Structure 1
Amino acid sequence: MAIKHASDASFKEDIAEGLVLVDFWATWCGPCKMIAPVLEELAPEIEGKAEIVKVDVDQNQQTASEYGIMSIPTLVLFKDGELVDKVVGYQPKEALVAFVEKNA
């Protein structure tokens, strides 16, 4: 399953159904670059349970502001459009699997 890239315009639609893990990130962010391959590896493992959506906070400031994103990377879990959980900073794959599964 491919990771989606959301914009301010598409965000609400991208998180509307099911469990969605949103990665708020930026191109200049070191920890964001570290977590990107972890998310790529995670995507096929959580297929059927959750989707992964990335939001570039520099290009989509409205969405980042709406959800109070102050530090990146921030990973936010949405279920049917509702925010259910949030974690800030780099996370190893095992922690992300547990994060998704406890809310699945």
Structure 2
Amino acid sequence: MKQATEQNFATLIEHGVVLADFHASWCPPCSNQLEVLTQIEQETADFLTLIRVDIDHCGQLVHKYGLLSVPTLLLFQEGRVVERIVGVQSKKVLLELITPYLL
């Protein structure tokens, strides 16, 4: 998983399908979500890019995308948000949301 910053974020999301994990180090549910995302990354590495965005270091991105809680996952396709997922989700739920964009 790539670590996103405010400087490289636009470049990371501009091509393909990208799942951005907006998280915080102090957030226990974010740690739980990371375990699921690691599994998804292993299964979809050829089709999906996963990036992590630490909200404590990327305030402009938090404001730009109107994030109110963590974890929040934003799914991008060619730089545009196509799905917004708030809260911890199971692997099954995430794959069901992501898979149509990978085809």
Q: Do both share a fold (TM > 0.5)?
A: yes
Displaced runs of 4 or more, over 6 A: none
What does residue 100 of structure 1 align with? Answer: 98
Q: What root-mean-square deviation, in Å, do the aligned CA atoms of Structure 1 and Structure 2 show?
A: 0.8
Q: Distance in 2 between matches of 1:55 and 1:64?
A: 9
| Unpaired stretches in structure 2, ≥5 consecutive residues | none
Structure-1 residue corresponding to 2:85:
87
Deviations 1:34-90 (A, max 9, x none): 111111111011122211010000011111110011111001000010111111000
Instruction: Please name the residue that 1:59 is paired with.
Output: 57
Q: With structure 1 as the length reference, what TM-score do the two structures score? A: 0.94
Q: TM-score, normalised by structure 2?
A: 0.95
Q: How many residues align?
A: 102
- Give the structure 2 partner of residue 50 of structure 1: 48
Structure 2 residue aligned with 1:17: 15
- Opposite residue 72 of structure 1, the aligned amino acid is V
Greater helix share, structure number = 2
1:96 shift after superposition: 1.1
Q: Percent same amino acid among aligned pairs? A: 35
